[in-house]
């Protein structure tokens, strides 16, 4: 076996970034068992000679285990077994329709305990087609005996629906469905959020999901892995959202296309699970197949508090092969935004201070978790004063909503986030859902029905993403969003003392 390695390394001034590209060409030795030659003196079975172990990345190791292989290589097509399948109100009816068409009306799903159905996208709307989607899911759950269905029957008061959770990606984590070493597929591109737990998690279409419903397996291609090492001391004014915007701005929205994005280093190790979720959530905005963080005691504590099901964590081997490696010194990164109309349109927030805005939106799977709201509330409390533009608050889940009203914000005189938001003139926190993150029906809460300019903690800013096709969305961290609400323009949170 021979390795020919071409290494390119350079540093980018002012970004805290070092980039290395490794291109490996391996000479594969082939053994001809029926060669025309004298027979060996003794016959040995392959097992008696041992197996040369190949160093694997985290993603490769998970997929090897789930495909009953000792190792896998990027580009290899494998049948992987599935630990969990998630679908929601937008894609669920179509998924079951494909399953019934291809497997038959009387077929049974492969395992009703491994399917998770979470209505969350178009919930608090009067749109009859959106409401009918939830009714269809309810029928499917009853027909197939599916165990995990987080239903909502009374849209007038979400608190009257204890089973209803909210945004699928955060609910999956909070309800103990995200476990290290597992394989999770979901009919939503931000299923990659769960990679924060050290599992292989990625979005799929309805056809693939219908196939999983019938078989519990899926044919996929093993992705190569890009490694991101985050080092240095995290400044007080930065949040995880700034770091993933930095990364996407560096590699572009196509830079991770069908690649695993592995995040490691002391900055990742110091992060909470919600911070890691923010990082992994947006790998799809770089085209990534999946994102993953090494599981550790922070991971295990979070998971064990939410499920008693067993799990087996995996870690990358020393010497594993990465096609690219990026190193960031986070102490050199400034508060960032992604300007319209692409998540890789990276700008320093301070350079956009002349951009007048019409609204601020804090919510979504990326920016609607408890810690996101605590950060926004902390800045508003420290700065004082009133927001200058409508500031919409959409908790991701019922648990997050409850935290806003029941959890004191650290260093804010015992006040809750809800109290701080009310004092600052923000809108009352809305029922938990995806809401305006992806537009939705016209009566969706906080949907942009006019060509306005919005600073948002969401994940995409393509034309029409939050409603009106001429709207402009600046993606930002909760700190930057809160600062912008106070300024009435895109703002740098450092101006408000964080």
Structure confidence by residue, pLDDT tens digits, 3-47? 333 333 333 334 455 544 444 333 322 332 223 233 333 444 434
Contact yes or no for 133/89 (Cβ under 8 A): yes
The CA R_g of the chain, rounded to the nearest whole Å, is 24
User: Is the N-terminal amide bond of 341 cis, ω within 30° of 0?
Assistant: yes
pTM, rounded to two decimals: 0.90
439-440-444-448 Cα dihedral, nearest 10 degrees = 30
At 30 the pLDDT is 31
Which of the residues in the chain have pLDDT under 70? 1-52
pLDDT score for 53: 77
Domains of the chain (ranges; CATH) run 1-26+55-333 (3.30.499.10), 337-496 (3.30.499.10)
Query: How far apart are alpha carbons 467 and 443 in whole angstroms?
Result: 11
CA distance 262 to 280: 9
Return the pLDDT at 52.
52
Q: How far apart are CA 220 and CA 204, in angstroms?
A: 10
């Amino acid at each position: 076996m021979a390795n020919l390695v071409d290494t390119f390394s350079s540093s980018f001034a002012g970004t805290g970034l070092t980039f290395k590209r490794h291109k490996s060409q391996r000479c594969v030795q082939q053994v001809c068992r029926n060669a025309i030659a004298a027979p060996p003196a003794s016959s040995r079975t392959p097992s008696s000679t041992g197996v040369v172990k190949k160093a694997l990345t985290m993603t490769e190791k998970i997929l090897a285990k789930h495909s009953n292989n000792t190792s896998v290589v990027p580009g290899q097509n494998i049948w992987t077994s599935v630990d969990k399948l998630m679908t929601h109100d937008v894609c669920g009816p179509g998924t079951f329709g494909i399953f019934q068409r291809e497997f038959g009306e009387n077929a049974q799903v492969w395992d009703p305990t491994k399917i998770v159905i979470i209505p969350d996208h178009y919930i608090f709307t009067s749109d009859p087609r959106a409401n009918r989607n939830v009714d269809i899911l309810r029928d499917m759950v009853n027909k197939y005996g599916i165990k995990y269905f987080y239903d909502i029957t009374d849209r007038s008061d979400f608190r009257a629906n204890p089973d209803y959770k909210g945004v699928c990606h955060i609910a999956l984590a909070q309800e103990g469905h995200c476990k290290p070493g597992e394989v999770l597929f979901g009919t939503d591109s931000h299923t990659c959020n769960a990679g924060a737990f050290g599992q292989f998690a990625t979005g799929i279409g309805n056809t693939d999901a219908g196939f999983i419903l019938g078989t519990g397996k899926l044919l996929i291609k093993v992705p190569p892995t890009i490694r991101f090492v985050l080092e240095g001391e995290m400044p007080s004014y930065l949040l995880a959202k700034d770091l993933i915007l930095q990364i996407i701005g560096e590699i572009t929205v196509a830079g991770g296309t069908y690649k695993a994005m592995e995040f490691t280093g002391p900055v990742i190790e110091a992060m909470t699970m919600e911070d890691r979720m923010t990082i992994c959530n947006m790998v799809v905005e770089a085209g990534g197949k999946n994102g993953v963080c090494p599981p550790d005691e922070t991971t295990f504590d979070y998971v064990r508090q939410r499920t008693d099901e067993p799990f087996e964590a995996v870690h990358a081997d020393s010497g594993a092969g990465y096609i690219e490696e990026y190193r960031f010194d986070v102490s050199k990164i400034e508060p960032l935004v992604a300007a319209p109309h692409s998540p890789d349109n990276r700008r320093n927030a301070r350079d956009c201070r002349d951009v007048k805005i019409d609204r601020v939106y804090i919510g979504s799977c990326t920016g609607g978790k408890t810690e996101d709201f605590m950060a926004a509330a902390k800045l508003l409390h420290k700065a004082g004063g009133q927001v200058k533009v409508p500031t919409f608050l959409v908790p991701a889940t019922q648990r997050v909503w409850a935290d806003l009203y029941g959890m004191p914000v650290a260093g804010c005189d015992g006040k809750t986030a809800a109290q701080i938001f009310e004092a600052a003139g923000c809108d009352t926190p809305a029922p938990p859902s995806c809401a305006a993150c992806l537009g939705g029906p016209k009566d969706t809460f906080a949907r942009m029905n006019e060509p306005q300019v919005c600073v948002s903690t969401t994940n995409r800013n393509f034309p029409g993403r939050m409603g009106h096709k001429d709207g402009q969305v600046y993606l930002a961290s909760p700190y930057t969003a809160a600062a912008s609400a106070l300024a009435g323009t895109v703002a740098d949170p450092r101006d408000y003392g964080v």
